[in-house]
Amino acid sequence: MTTPASSTAPTESTVVDGVHYHQFDIVIVGAGGAGMRAAIEAGPGASTAVISKLYPTRSHTGAAQGGMAAALANVEEDNWEWHTFDTVKGGDYLVDQDAAEILAKEAIDAVIDLENMGLPFNRTPEGKIDQRRFGGHTSDHGKAPVRRACYAADRTGHMILQTLYQNCVKRGINFFNEYYVLDLIMTEVDGVEQPSGVVAYDLSSGELHVFQAKAFIFATGGFGKIYKTTSNAHTLTGDGVGIIWRKGLPLEDMEFFQFHPTGLAGLGILLTEGARGEGAILRNASGERFMEKYAPTIKDLAPRDIIARCMVKEVAEGRGAGPNKDYLYLDCTHLGAEVLETKLPDITEFARTYLGVDPVTEPVPVMPTAHYAMGGIPTNVNAEVLRNNTTVVPGLYAAGECACVSVHGSNRLGTNSLLDINVFGKRAGNNAVAYVKTAEFVPLPADPAKFVRGLIEGIRSSTGTERIAVLRKELQETMDAKAQVFRTDESLKDVTDTIHSLRERYKNIGVQDKGRRFNTDLLEAVELGFLLDLAEVVVFSARNRKESRGGHMRDDFPLRDDENYLVHTMAYLTGDPHSADAADHIALDWKPVTITRYQPMERKY
């Protein structure tokens, strides 16, 4: 097939051998906050398509509750340097400080951009954007809590998602909704592999679509469904990260996964940190405010990794509540009905609906829940994807949770996720536009959909006896039990052995639905393949980091080791993932941490 020449407007879809072909200057994979923020910048300057396996306003950005950090100083004194310091310290000094400075500096414009787009932030009596406290946010480099989180009740992510989508529609962005991207086509040009297209599976018809472009932006979110107890939606299966991994490109800092302290006990559904920002208190079974012992300065507003570990310790030492003494309490009763109903309406309803507990009159059972991946696709501060420590892949960008800038280090500061998607989503869009102005289309191979066709038809036609739900449940329960807040080499080896066993059983899967339209059975089978890949990288990276830092706590190596491990992990797929030992197909390298002004020090709160 001969592809059409470059144009400023998309060509009509052409069909060759049952495969639909499209051409755009920029293709964005993922329609959450990062993807749509990139589209808003890209759309006016280049023909742009956004591909999403969900309708855009169902993306997981909409589940973010508490707020978006920016040193506006609307309520009390604040500045971007304090925000930078909190980001670096909160990330346990594994943060690239040049990226943190960009995040904190550009935060102010990012919030104002959203306000100008129409986002309905909560307001002060004077009409300014209101701000509240959040974990790890301090004034004057750690001296006291500060009000830095801009918010829209406890629906901030939902409001951001709606606002961005409305502005994408306003700009005429092309959306391909419920199209599941399953492959990134790489073509060698002058000895260098470059992206030339992506292949997507249309969930409504079962047909394959090839999108050729000059630049590609991955904004596909996280992969929290490797765990059973998680705040992540069922769709967060790491598809974009998994595609990059299978192409032989590295993944960075995959061992660092954040466990949010306040998930509804037994369910993992998130109760925002904004509750503690408004004054809610964590208590053990005897009613003790236990965080006073661990973080005497900012107590319940310590960073998430610290609070999660303290909570697990409280339960392990017998101070848990409930029949099995396996959870703690979030006490909001002193805040009053007005605060809960106006500033925290969603979490109030969640507690009532899912646990039958009314936060107005009784404490809510909570325990840590898998929440956010600090690691992912390595990028520089321009959102360009890295082939190794320094070399970029021309025309390939990533932003949001699927990317690792690294602005979150080993533990993301609360409210920096909504900020990250806006700052680096915007950068990805602008830099992609600049790139395509001089770039040419990279030729597609003769049959670009061959791999995806084989993958889909192989699963659809399989007659195996293994059920996807059974394998997924075993993976998630094992990750919860042995690779969660606390880890050891022994527990991580057990997970590795389980993953290898599940890989063997995955070869014998069968799907009951053989149809082509909205085949969720088939979809979940593909997703499980990505989950197995990513869980293995997480565990392999964790076994090789013999220290404790941020979201990665090793009981057998309980201290932070800056001498040997103040470096980023870079994992590479080097062989057949079905081999018996992860060491046979995963190689690790290390990348220096960028330190500009803040030298590593002990984290005291």
> Residue 462: pLDDT above 50?
yes
The string over 293-313, giving b where at least 16 C-beta atoms fall within 10 Å of a residue's C-beta and e elsewhere, is ebbeebbbbbbbbbbbbbbbe
Q: By CB neighbour count within 10 A (0-12 exposed, 13-18 middle, 19+ buried), where does 356 fall? A: exposed
CA 102 to chain centre: 19
Catalytic residues: 304
Q: How far apart are CA 133 and CA 129, in angstroms?
A: 14
Summarised one tens digit per residue, pLDDT across range 135-163 is 899 999 999 999 999 999 999 999 999 99
**What share of the chain has pLDDT > 70, as a percent?**
97
Q: Which domain holds residue 147?
A: 66-155
> Residue 408: pLDDT above 80?
yes
Place of tokens 């964005």: 28
Tell me which H or E stretch contains 180.
strand 179-189
What strands, in cross-sheet order, belong to the sheet with 364-373? 257-264, 364-373, 328-331, 281-283
Q: How far apart are CA 264 and CA 347, in angstroms?
A: 10
272 known member of a binding site: yes
Place of tokens 């293709």: 27
Instruction: Specify if 352 maps to a domain.
Output: yes
209 known member of a binding site: no
Q: Is residue 458 located within the same domain as residue 362?
A: no
Global pTM value = 0.94
32 known member of a binding site: yes
Question: What would the mean pLDDT of 118-126 be, rounded to a whole number?
Answer: 96
> Residue 601: pLDDT above 90?
yes
45 known member of a binding site: no
Q: Is residue 452 located within the same domain as residue 362?
A: no
Q: Which of 326, 314, 298 is nearest to 414 (CA)?
A: 298
In this structure, of 123-132, 212-221, 466-475, 578-587, the range with the lowest mean pLDDT score is 578-587
> Residue 6: pLDDT above 90?
no
53 known member of a binding site: yes
pLDDT of residue 580: 63
What strands, in cross-sheet order, belong to the sheet with 68-69? 68-69, 144-150, 131-139
Cα Rg of the chain (Å, integer): 23
DSSP β-bridge partners for residue 506: none
60 known member of a binding site: yes
Summarised one tens digit per residue, pLDDT across range 409-455 is 999 999 999 999 999 999 999 999 999 999 999 999 999 999 999 99
Instruction: Specify if 404 maps to a domain.
Output: no
205 known member of a binding site: no
371 known member of a binding site: yes
Instruction: Specify if 423 maps to a domain.
Output: no
Those residues whose C-beta lies under 8 Å from the C-beta of residue 427, and which sit 6 or more positions away, are: 381, 382, 383, 399
Q: What's the mean per-residue pLDDT of the chain? A: 94
> Pick from 341, 367, 393: which residue ends a domain?
367
DSSP β-bridge partners for residue 264: 366
Q: What is the CATH number of the domain that holds 342?
A: 3.90.700.10
- What stretches of 274-407 show up as alpha helix (H) in DSSP? 274-277, 291-294, 304-316, 337-343, 345-350
In this structure, of 71-85, 91-105, 500-514, the range with the lowest mean pLDDT score is 500-514
Q: Tokens representing 212?
A: 């050729």
Q: Tokens representing 60?
A: 């997981």
Q: How far apart are CA 197 and CA 181, in angstroms?
A: 10
Q: Which of 214, 322, 193 is nearest to 264 (CA)?
A: 322
Question: What would the mean pLDDT of 563-584 be, rounded to a whole number?
Answer: 85
> Pick from 346, 367, 388: which residue ends a domain?
367
- Number of domains comprising the chain: 3
> Residue 592: pLDDT above 80?
yes
287 known member of a binding site: no
pLDDT of residue 4: 34
Q: Is 26 helix (H, G, I), strand (E, B) or coil?
A: strand
401 known member of a binding site: yes
- What stretches of 5-78 show up as alpha helix (H) in DSSP? 33-42
Tell me which H or E stretch contains 198.
strand 192-202
57 known member of a binding site: yes
Those residues whose C-beta lies under 8 Å from the C-beta of residue 16, and which sit 6 or more positions away, are: 1
Summarised one tens digit per residue, pLDDT across range 12-53 is 689 888 899 999 999 999 999 999 999 999 999 999 999 999
Question: What would the mean pLDDT of 278-307 be, rounded to a whole number?
Answer: 94
Q: What is the CATH number of the domain that holds 487?
A: 1.20.58.100
412 known member of a binding site: yes
> Residue 58: pLDDT above 80?
yes
Question: What would the mean pLDDT of 368-374 be, rounded to a whole number?
Answer: 96
pLDDT of residue 94: 98
Q: Tokens representing 271?
A: 């109760």
Instruction: Specify if 418 maps to a domain.
Output: no
Instruction: Specify if 477 maps to a domain.
Output: yes
Instruction: Specify if 500 maps to a domain.
Output: yes
pLDDT of residue 576: 76
> Pick from 138, 155, 172: which residue ends a domain?
155
Instruction: Specify if 71 maps to a domain.
Output: yes
Q: How far apart are CA 31 and CA 219, in angstroms?
A: 7
66 known member of a binding site: yes
235 known member of a binding site: no
Question: What would the mean pLDDT of 197-224 be, rounded to a whole number?
Answer: 97
Instruction: Specify if 265 maps to a domain.
Output: yes
Confidence category of residue 282, pLDDT binned at 50, 70, 90: very high
